[in-house]
Amino acid sequence: MSDVVDILKKIGAVITDDHFVYTSGKHGEVYINKDALYPHTKETSEVCKLIAEKYKDKEVDVVVGPALGGIILSQWVAHHLSEMKGRKVLGVFTEKDEESDQIFRRGYDKLVKGKKVLAVEDLTTTGGSVKKVVDSVKAVGGEVIGVCVMVNRDPDNINSELVGAPFTAVGVLKAEAFDEAKCPFCKEKRPINIKMGHGKEYLEKKKK
């Protein structure tokens, strides 16, 4: 069986030995470009099959992921679980509201209420997004039987207790993050990548 990090590397979605600014504002040298995966349907299907394999013996009625990437993951994972179980497993998604919470729209709350739900996410840096999905599922009366991410970037801190449900990942790729003041790549004057991550916005702010 393929390893998820190998699949991501094969399509050029894992970049190392560079200098990135992450969403958190911290700096690091490893970046996973999850958006590079989704155009490749075969590889996306393979990754989601790895997630489905972990839950084929669990009771799952609905798979839910946060928009945008989580939409694709939830569809494929639900598809593979349906085939493995020989019954219909639904795939739905949450969307950000004005407060940046993940909420159900489009009547999907009715599909989740009273059901056993698997939450899926592509990457976890802080675990915040998937925790919001878990909270929303519980709020509409669903039971979260598990949370599974494609790649956990901070296995030391992101766990079941943090996200509020049994947590696992199909891949781990530690990406150490540094505050700007302590960034070794800044100290060695390594150029910041402006094509991936938040390097461009960071440099524009520095100019001001």
pLDDT at 73: 96
pLDDT at 24: 79
User: Hey, what amino acid is at 4?
Assistant: V
pTM: 0.87
DSSP E strands, the chain: 14-15, 20-21, 27-28, 31-32, 62-66, 90-96, 102-103, 116-124, 143-152, 167-172
Domain boundaries, the chain: 4-201
pLDDT at 1: 47
User: Distance between CA atoms of 81 and 56, rounded to whole angstroms?
Assistant: 6
pLDDT at 2: 63
Q: What is the CATH number of domain 4-201?
A: 3.40.50.2020
Low-confidence ranges of the chain (pLDDT < 70): 1-2
Tell me how crowded residue 60 is: count the other CB atoms within 10 A of its CB: 23
Tell me how crowded residue 103 is: count the other CB atoms within 10 A of its CB: 18
